[in-house]
Amino acid sequence: MIRSQDNAPYDVVIIGGGPGGSTTGALLKKYAPELRVLILEKERFPREHVGESQLPPISAVLQEMGCWDKVEAANFPIKIGATYTWGDTTDPWDFEFLPIGDIKPDEARPAKYEGWRVQTAFQVERSIYDKILLDHAAELGCEVREETRVAKVHAEGDRVTGLELETGEVVAARHYIDATGAVATLRRAMGVKIDAPTLLRNVAFWDYWENAEWAEEIGVGATRVHIRSLGYGWLWFIPLGPTRTSIGLVCPADHYKQTGKRPEEIYLEAIQSERFVSALTASATRDGPVRSTTDWSFVVDRTYGENWFLVGESAGFADPILAAGLTLTQTGARELAYTILELERGELDRDWLLERYDELQLRRVRQHMRFADYWYSANGYFDDIRENCSAIAKESGLKLDAADAFRWLAQGGLGDDAPGQVGVGGMDVAGVKQMMQRFSGSDAKWTINGKNTFKLNLVSAKETTIGKLVDGRIHTAPCYVRGKSRLPLLGVQGLVVEALRASSDAEGILEHLRAELSKTLAPEHVPVSVHHAIQTLEVMANDYWVICGVKKNKPVLNVTTPEEGSQIHTHDANSPSARRIPATEA
């Protein structure tokens, strides 16, 4: 049991009751009910907020918090993926979270967090979603004070000594958390610097529509978010419920300035010019007025101080093209709750815990920024960003020209979204390659193809430890680190390292993988998991953890990237679920 100390009125004070604050608070109270946790929120909920389209990792966090059922009961649309027009082609294509055949269209709602629903996400109306989460944190025992704005941060050096409310009251605690989103009250007060290692300088305009048609409905309430490229920018189309839809325009700030148009004008013109979205909104009405914000990606240079932390958007923001904001926020909030729980227990090294939290948050935001850069470059309208790929690669210690760096961004350079797994923004490596193939119109290259020897390369690597989060505790696992690249010895990466230690030739490695996976998996699941391990080998080769070679007269690896994969494939506009848009409109 963690003992709360009585010399400060609160153990933890969280500024901001959005998803970052409520998730941290709820998980702290779930695992340590004795901690005194206060959440200070300047608004009275429900309050409106942009950022509605989620990724599946959030569902696991909601389940751990104990409120997936509450969110499901709100009857938000089930997000099974997204449909894009992007890249050189105007044909829509889908990015699926799960194979379409796994969806159970007849399953009644509210459902349980099991089976295919584990791989889905929600499209949420934030006023309702954020209130469910904040109320849940209160139910678990957090003291929540709404309409309570932190006006001033009192500090001595890098140590926060109290938070001054608008009433003049000063609140003191042992740990302070800034979960104030873009406001970043504590971050600004503590003078934390921010960096923007990207050329993206976008603005967003959005509004909410009543009775826009859904592009498609699969079973009871399942659908895809639609992203439509306009050339100079893009539109999002996110159904939030049976009648309410969020539609937004994102474009470079310079483009907006050059047009000299008012937000209302540029927004409505964009919708009218996009035939698919204009058809879906033909009989719909708008909330108005058009909301707008700059959505300039940034990342802080540190996420913690002597007795304070940054979480969620106060620590960094990656362009919304990947819909990753809430995922970064809520998975980061979970990491923070676990970090504070371990600091309280005092069993693990304090510096290791703090640096671990910091490194993870900064790396994830940077990785998503990099991937967003790649995504925009691939649209073919942002040549300067394509050139910037070299600079991005250099930051990771690689000397590559623009074309190679562009390829590396998509193919390699994928750190771990979760320790021991590789991928980014919900996509696995094969998915990224399929997407790249679509963007470029040429076959995606696999570094491991045509090779049959694979040797673990630990030159200049240092041994360190990585954390694994289970039931409120951080367990340690070994990990190699070289520059900014890490190789955790757990999960699929751990399995591949074991296979490389057992054998250096392709046949031996595959044999080892099959044998190990067969110990825990049913025979029909082994081939898929072997394929994931091969994808991991590819990322390890791209990050120089593996040196590939060729031995004569031995079979070589030949991984293919089918044009139509289960995760990325051409959108089926004739599927029974899709709303028919006449050919001239689509």
Ligand X SMILES: Cc1cc2nc3c(=O)[nH]c(=O)nc-3n(C[C@H](O)[C@H](O)[C@H](O)COP(=O)(O)OP(=O)(O)OC[C@H]3O[C@@H](n4cnc5c(N)ncnc54)[C@H](O)[C@@H]3O)c2cc1C
Residue 493 touching ligand X (CB under 6 A): no
58-74 burial, b at 16+ Cβ within 10 Å, e below that, comes to bbbbbbbbebbebbbee
Q: Does an H or E element contain 447, and which?
A: none
27 contacts: CB under 8 Å, gap ≥ 6: 64, 65, 333, 334, 337, 338, 472
Residue appearing with tokens 């914000």: 293
- Of the two residues 185 and 447, which places its CB atom closer to ligand X in the complex? 185
Candidates 18, 81, 92, 494; binder of ligand X (CB under 6 A) is 18
User: What would the two tokens of residue 112 be?
Assistant: 């349980």
> What's the CA gap between 150 and 158, in Å, rounded?
18
- Of the two residues 223 and 529, which places its CB atom closer to ligand X in the complex? 223
Backbone angles phi, psi at 448, to 5 degrees: -80, -10
Contact 338, 469 (CB under 8 A): yes
Candidates 49, 154, 363, 531; binder of ligand X (CB under 6 A) is 49
Residue ranges in 54-93 that form contacts with ligand X under rule CB under 6 A: 54
Using CB under 6 A, which of the segments 61-69, 296-304, 321-329, 459-467 binds ligand X? 321-329
Contact code string over 398-437 relative to ligand X, x by CB under 6 A:
----------------------------------------
> Least distance to ligand X from the beta carbon of 181, Å?
2
DSSP state of 123: B
- Of the two residues 43 and 139, which places its CB atom closer to ligand X in the complex? 43
Residue 453 touching ligand X (CB under 6 A): no
Residue 239 touching ligand X (CB under 6 A): no
> Least distance to ligand X from the beta carbon of 83, Å?
14
> Least distance to ligand X from the beta carbon of 75, Å?
19
DSSP state of 141: T
Residue 53 touching ligand X (CB under 6 A): yes
Using CB under 6 A, which of the segments 94-102, 320-328, 361-369, 522-530 binds ligand X? 320-328
Residue 40: half-sphere exposure toward Cβ, Cα within 13 Å? 27
> Least distance to ligand X from the beta carbon of 327, Å?
6
Using CB under 6 A, which of the segments 5-13, 51-59, 91-99, 508-516 binds ligand X? 51-59
Assign 312 to helix, strand or coil.
helix
Residue ranges in 253-312 that form contacts with ligand X under rule CB under 6 A: 293, 295, 312
Residue appearing with tokens 């190699």: 480
Residue ranges in 180-219 that form contacts with ligand X under rule CB under 6 A: 180-181, 183, 185, 204
Assign 466 to helix, strand or coil.
strand
- Of the two residues 130 and 538, which places its CB atom closer to ligand X in the complex? 130
Q: How many residues bind ligand X (CB under 6 A)?
A: 35
Among the listed residues 100, 104, 133, 132, the one whose alpha carbon sits nearest the alpha carbon of residue 117? 104
> Least distance to ligand X from the beta carbon of 137, Å?
12
- Of the two residues 329 and 567, which places its CB atom closer to ligand X in the complex? 329
Residue ranges in 117-156 that form contacts with ligand X under rule CB under 6 A: 149-150
Backbone angles phi, psi at 97, to 5 degrees: -80, -20
Candidates 320, 423, 426, 467; binder of ligand X (CB under 6 A) is 320
Residue 17 touching ligand X (CB under 6 A): yes
Q: For residue 511, count CB atoms less than 10 angstroms from its CB and return exposed for 0-12, middle for 13-18, buried for 19 or more.
A: middle
Other C-beta atoms closer than 10 Å to the C-beta of 290 total 18
> What's the CA gap between 68 and 60, in Å, rounded?
8
Residue 489 touching ligand X (CB under 6 A): no
> Least distance to ligand X from the beta carbon of 299, Å?
13
> Least distance to ligand X from the beta carbon of 303, Å?
12
- Of the two residues 272 and 293, which places its CB atom closer to ligand X in the complex? 293
Backbone angles phi, psi at 172, to 5 degrees: -120, 150
> Least distance to ligand X from the beta carbon of 390, Å?
28
- Of the two residues 140 and 184, which places its CB atom closer to ligand X in the complex? 184
> Least distance to ligand X from the beta carbon of 234, Å?
12
- Of the two residues 335 and 543, which places its CB atom closer to ligand X in the complex? 335
> Least distance to ligand X from the beta carbon of 129, Å?
10
* C-alpha angle 351-353-359 in degrees, rounded to nearest 5: 95
Residue 495 touching ligand X (CB under 6 A): no
> What's the CA gap between 404 and 499, in Å, rounded?
29
Residue ranges in 541-580 that form contacts with ligand X under rule CB under 6 A: none
Give the type of residue at 480: Y
Residue 179 touching ligand X (CB under 6 A): yes
> What's the CA gap between 576 and 578, in Å, rounded?
6
39 contacts: CB under 8 Å, gap ≥ 6: 13, 14, 16, 17, 21, 22, 25, 134, 137, 138, 142, 143, 144, 145
User: Hey, which bits of 362-419 come out as E strands?
Assistant: none
> Least distance to ligand X from the beta carbon of 498, Å?
35
Q: Are strands 244-252 and 234-239 parallel, antiparallel or unpaired?
A: antiparallel
Dihedral sign computed on CA atoms, order 390, 384, 539, 449: negative
> Least distance to ligand X from the beta carbon of 226, Å?
12
Contact 223, 103 (CB under 8 A): no
Candidates 12, 25, 31, 51; binder of ligand X (CB under 6 A) is 51
Using CB under 6 A, which of the segments 40-48, 384-392, 457-465, 529-537 binds ligand X? 40-48
> Least distance to ligand X from the beta carbon of 122, Å?
10
Alpha carbon 499 to chain centroid distance? Answer: 30
> Least distance to ligand X from the beta carbon of 219, Å?
23
Alpha-carbon distances of 581 from 11, 87, 270, 430, rounded to whole Å: 56, 21, 18, 31
| Residues at the contact surface with ligand X, assessed by CB under 6 A | 15-21, 40-43, 49-54, 149-150, 179-181, 183, 185, 204, 293, 295, 312-313, 320, 323, 325-327, 329
